[in-house]
Structure 1
């Protein structure tokens, strides 16, 4: 038995496409789709409860809005499979997704497989998106598209529920899995298309807030694993201070000063390029956020 664990929060339209793709798998082994609703208010629960015949593999579980780490742990606890697959609820996979993971994982218990994730803003036909250089990832363990034996997750202690905001809970678990001696097997044939709406100016306040959250959770990550590798991952080094400080002109290039350029790029039909430009100041905010959170943590520790 395989268990596909999908935490979700207010993503009903794309979740439907996600589940339809998971139901259409060319896979001979039994599998279940464990959907953990994290307190959605968009009718997700009601929809799934009224469409059980359309999604026969789905088992629905509900919790209050407590974050992805707790939702994934809930999924692990209630899952019936010996092998766990984590995907996000905005991922649309191909029919050979599960069989590709199974083929790559066969005979390799002390390992896990990591599939390919291709970002797209094409809601109508997400799987038509070509792979781009920005889709490449060096992450060791990321829950967007990964398959692993359940007993390793339990032995590692599952996800740390102190990660209550955006970011790092999967990579932190990855450090513990690496310490157990697990190896990463890349599985490019297990393709998932990660849908997100095309970038707009209206998204900027949320993106700025996400970087602040990512900075705070990065410090939680570093406090658990105070290594140079983690410092590099969370951008808490002089290298990142210099890099993003210079590129953003010390913060002079920000969401206000670059707004005309970003709007022009979006109007020219280049929202992805606009987002890449915005990442200059978003990364600067992240660097500042992680150092601010670290100073606060040191101050609290010293009291």
Structure 2
């Protein structure tokens, strides 16, 4: 088996059906399978899977209760036979050549993580639970809206691929930031130090052996999101290359958010910062908590890579890590001011730190790191370093 398409699902029967229809239309000469991990759905997903007429080996794993998307994906991966894992969520519609292009991208490349186009969106069903912004956009597109879970997309559009004519770009600060990064560093992400930010598991692929070597997805991440970033970070740290492929197209069927509350995001950010609590993972802390824009963050990481080559500068990096933890606490914990600070101006010998930072800047040219270090010290500890 050349590839295994990994699809986690939870109470998304109607969107999953459409997703499987799009996979039925794949123009791929290589053998592939689709593995659906049903995370305790209660909407008839299992009966739909049992009756679905697939043009490929369709395997589904029934999980009695929802134990998180990481657990679901792992159950699917453990049943996979393909050399390549293609991650494709239950709400995604695949262009006809998605599987073939993912497979081809890995030819003669054992070190590659492929990130397909992930910011295209369309409306396939109407939901009464849609957030306000969705209802406003739908009101602009349609004169009359159907009832809850009634279709807005014909099956024929999925079969012939014309659903692509109805899609639009997701327009958020996050997507605009990623597009800006691509504009500067290109789709090969050459020179970009945080490529894992493009590893979104609704349209990405990697050799199965790499995922197995890293211990699969982290099942400790139970709340919504971040399990893909976590695996992407570990793939990056293992030395793999990342590539954005705009021509590998998949479109997200819009639906009410799976994120229960902002507490999900806060909890997962705190979890990630505790998990990657070392100076070799400062990119994680800068991405999630750093008060710097994407371009400056990348420049800071380039400087940090230089500093990591010298043991004598590790103390600076440890202080920088603690400062970023303080930023995290300020961002996530409303009571952070009432708690004992992680670091104060008395936590280190100020003249020694100032001398070491000056030496590093002069010898290695780490100007961006030095400025960021001084800015955090001034903002959080109210100390001006010359």
TM-score, with normalisation over the residues of structure 2? 0.58
User: Highest Rg: 1 or 2?
Assistant: 2
Partners of 2:33 and 2:57 within 8 A in 1: yes
In the alignment, structure 1 residue 190 sits paired with structure 2 residue 248 = yes
User: What's the counterpart of residue 214 of structure 1?
Assistant: 265
CA pair 130-238 structure 1, distance change in 2 beyond 3 A = closer
Kept in 1, the 8 Å contact 2:9–2:90? The answer is yes
Residues 179 and 239 of structure 1: CA distance in aligned 2, closer, same or farther (over 3 Å): closer
Cα deviation, residue 93, structure 1: 0.9
How far does residue 294 in structure 1 lie from its aligned partner after superposition? 11
Q: What stretches of structure 2 of length at least 5 have no aligned partner?
A: 125-152, 158-162, 182-196, 294-327, 341-386
Q: 2:286 aligns with which of 232, 239, 242?
A: 232
SS of the residue corresponding to residue 13 of structure 1 reads: helix
Q: Matches of 2:330 and 2:32 in 1, distance apart?
A: 41
Contact 1:73/1:158 (<8 A) preserved: yes
* Residue of structure 1 equivalent to 2:42: 41
Give a deviation string over 1:199-256, Cα, whole Å, max 9, x none: 7xxx7xx75x43210110111111111344222332x34569xxxxxxxxxxxxxxxx
The equivalent residue for 1:26 is 27
User: RMSD between aligned alpha carbons?
Assistant: 2.7
Check the 8 A contact 1:91/1:195 in 2, yes or no. Answer: yes
**How far apart are residue 78 of structure 1 and its match?**
0.6
Q: How many residues were matched structurally?
A: 243
Sort the Cα spacing of 1:89 and 1:165 in 2 relative to 1 into closer, same or farther, 3 A. Answer: same
Q: Give the C-alpha shift of residue 175 in structure 1.
A: 1.2
Which residue does 2:60 correspond to in 1?
A: 60
Residue aligning to 1:291: 332
SS across alignment from 2:117: strand
Paired residues of 2:225 and 2:265 also in contact (CA < 8 A): yes
Residues 1:120 and 2:121 are matched in the alignment? yes
Residues 108 and 54 from structure 1, CA distance in 2 versus in 1: closer, same or farther, beyond 3 angstroms? closer
> Match of 2:70?
69
CA contact (8 A) 1:25 1:97 kept: yes
Deviation of residue 69 (structure 1)?
0.3
Distance 1:86 1:103 in 2: 15
> Does the alignment pair 1:172 with 2:230?
yes
Q: For 2:21 and 2:80, locate their aligned partners in 1 and report how far apart those are by CA, in whole Å.
A: 20
Q: Match of 1:166, SS?
A: coil
SS at match of 2:261: helix
- Counterpart CA distance in 1 for 2:330 and 2:93 is 32
Tell me if structure 1 keeps the 8 A contact 2:120–2:252: yes
**2 CA distance for matches of 1:72 and 1:49?**
20
Q: What is the deviation of 1:149?
A: 0.5
Offset of residue 56 of structure 1: 4.3
289 and 167 in structure 1: CA distance in 2 versus 1, 3 angstrom threshold:
farther
Residue 290 of structure 1, CA deviation: 5.8
Residue 97 in structure 1 maps to residue 90 in structure 2: no
Alignment partner, residue 281 of structure 1: none
Structure 1: gaps (5+ residues) = 241-286
Q: Contact 2:32 / 2:56 at 8 angstroms: preserved in 1? A: no
